[in-house]
């Protein structure tokens, strides 16, 4: 399985935060965003990354999970899911967790793989993420 590392720099295009009255500091967040992905593996470099997530946060700490799709210049895609922990320290929001591929189209049909990520918010709507992982293409499929 080939290994790779990469980075995402993105912006939330939709972000909704609801404060709940059940526990002090309890918030739910829905977010959708896009990012530019750079990657050490040329098969995944310079893709458009889209993600959708929900977070359950109490006093700045909690869990977040979501889904992603990477769209390549030729229209092929690979998609997956992720989950992780959110933490806030000195007003800096950071996160880390794991991701996995769930499907793909075109040259990425049948892709499997997984990895880890970590990142932080650079503003209320912008983030930077570093990731690493590995993948396997379905037998007989060759990424161009």
Fold entry, domain 3-136 = Porin (2.40.160)
Segments in the chain forming alpha helices (H): none
Confidence check: pLDDT of 139 > 90: no
Q: Give tens-digit pLDDT for 9-47.
A: 999 988 899 999 899 999 999 999 999 999 999 999 999
Q: Could you state, in order of their start, the residue ranges of all structural domains in the chain?
A: 3-136
**pLDDT at site 15:** 87
Query: How far is it, in rounded angstroms, from Cα 86 to Cα 88?
Result: 7
What are residue 90's phi and psi, to 5 degrees? Answer: 55, 45
Q: Residues of the chain with pLDDT > 90: what percent?
A: 88
Q: Whole-structure pTM over 0.85, yes or no?
A: yes
Confidence check: pLDDT of 140 > 90: no
Confidence check: pLDDT of 89 > 60: yes
């Amino acid at each position: 399985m080939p290994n790779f590392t990469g980075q995402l720099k993105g912006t939330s295009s939709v972000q909704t935060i609801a404060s709940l009255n059940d526990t002090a500091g309890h918030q739910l967040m829905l977010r959708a965003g896009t990012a530019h992905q750079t990657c050490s593996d040329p098969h995944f470099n310079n893709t458009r990354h889209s993600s959708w997530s929900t977070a359950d946060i109490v006093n700045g700490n909690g869990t977040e999970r979501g889904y992603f799709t990477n769209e390549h210049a030729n229209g092929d895609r690979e998609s997956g899911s992720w989950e992780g922990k959110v933490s806030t320290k000195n007003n800096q929001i950071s996160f880390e967790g794991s991701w996995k591929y769930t499907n793909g189209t075109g040259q990425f049909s049948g892709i499997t793989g997984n990895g880890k990520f970590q990142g932080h918010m650079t503003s209320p709507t912008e983030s930077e993420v570093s990731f690493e992982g590995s993948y396997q293409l379905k037998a007989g499929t060759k990424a161009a």
